């Protein structure tokens, strides 16, 4: 991995995690020191992140992390609802039964003694793992490329939300049903369940943003 790629992944990771908050300034000098690289890899990484809508670049003024807005949320889920079920259905036979049974067990049996925050992080991680697995084997490379950016933006939104598990959150049940439909190799059912899950996920995230 080259220096530009390292800088890109480093900066993007901190934006997604929220360590670099929305609308915060990014100092090239500070990034150079943190990464121990010259100005060129940092600038090239920032230009790449600008194309992916993670930062705003203002010539001769500076770089600012993009904001998290309801418009962004709507756009991310519009793409997910249009593309992700198609990718999942095309990949259904490539997902190994052993992995499906393993993640199903991990959903049903989280580690004991986790705090509320740690338990939330645990389920967010499994959510990302599941959604990545069901689309990564899709043979359409253009869909995969597009969804990589969408997944990154979605994770940024997800980590910034204040959603906690409550009686109205049926995320786990939805995930378990999706897993079972893949185990059954039922393409039509998988597409319907995944689309429903995405629509419900958007509602939950929008509610979190309002709160």
The CATH number that applies at residue 50 is: 1.10.10.10
Pair (176, 197) in one structural domain: yes
pLDDT averaged per 10 residues, the chain (length 211) = 94 96 94 94 96 93 93 96 96 95 96 90 92 92 94 92 60 96 97 97 84 58
Pair (132, 197) in one structural domain: yes
Last residue in a domain, options 32, 49, 65: 65
Pair (60, 104) in one structural domain: no
CB 3, CB 37: distance < 8 Å: yes
In the chain, the largest separation of any two C-alpha atoms, in whole Å, equals 57
- CATH number, domain with residue 92: 1.20.120.530
Pair (75, 25) in one structural domain: no
Query: By residue range, what is the domain housing residue 57?
Result: 3-65
Our count of domains for the chain comes to 2
- The pLDDT value recorded for residue 211 is 58
**Which residues in 13-29 are b (16+ Cβ under 10 Å) and which e?**
ebbbeeebeeeeebeee
Pair (158, 187) in one structural domain: yes
Pair (150, 79) in one structural domain: yes
139 DSSP 8-state letter: S
Q: Which residue has the tokens 């997902």?
A: 95
CB 187, CB 89: distance < 8 Å: yes
Q: Give the residues across from 56 on adjacent strands.
A: 64
Pair (80, 174) in one structural domain: yes
Per-residue tokens: 104? 């199903």
Pair (172, 78) in one structural domain: yes
Q: Give the residues across from 64 on adjacent strands.
A: 25, 56
Last residue in a domain, options 65, 89, 118: 65
- The pLDDT value recorded for residue 117 is 86
Q: Which residue has the tokens 């039922």?
A: 186
Last residue in a domain, options 22, 45, 65: 65
Residues near 119 by beta carbon (within 8 Å), at least 6 away in sequence? 110, 165
Pair (206, 113) in one structural domain: yes
- The pLDDT value recorded for residue 168 is 55
Pair (119, 199) in one structural domain: yes
Pair (81, 181) in one structural domain: yes
């Amino acid at each position: 991995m080259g220096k530009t790629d390292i800088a890109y992944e480093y900066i993007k990771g901190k934006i997604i995690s929220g360590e670099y908050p929305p609308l915060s300034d990014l100092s090239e000098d500070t990034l150079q020191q943190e990464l121990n690289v010259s100005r060129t890899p940092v600038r090239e990484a920032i230009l790449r992140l600008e194309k992916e809508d993670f930062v705003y670049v203002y010539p001769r003024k500076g770089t600012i992390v993009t904001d998290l807005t309801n418009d962004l949320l709507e756009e991310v889920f519009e793409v997910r609802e249009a593309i992700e079920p198609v990718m999942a259905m095309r990949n259904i036979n490539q997902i190994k039964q052993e992995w499906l049974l393993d993640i199903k067990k991990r959903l049903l049996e989280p580690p004991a003694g986790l705090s509320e925050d740690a338990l939330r992080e645990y389920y967010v991680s499994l959510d990302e793992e599941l959604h990545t697995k069901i689309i990564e084997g899709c043979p359409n490379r253009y869909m995969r490329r597009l969804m990589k950016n969408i997944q990154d933006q979605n994770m940024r939104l997800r980590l910034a939300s204040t959603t906690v598990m409550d009686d109205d959150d049926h995320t786990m049940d939805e995930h378990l049903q999706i897993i079972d439909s893949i185990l059954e190799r039922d393409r039509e059912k998988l597409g319907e369940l995944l689309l429903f899950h995405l629509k419900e996920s958007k509602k939950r995230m929008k509610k979190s943003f309002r709160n």
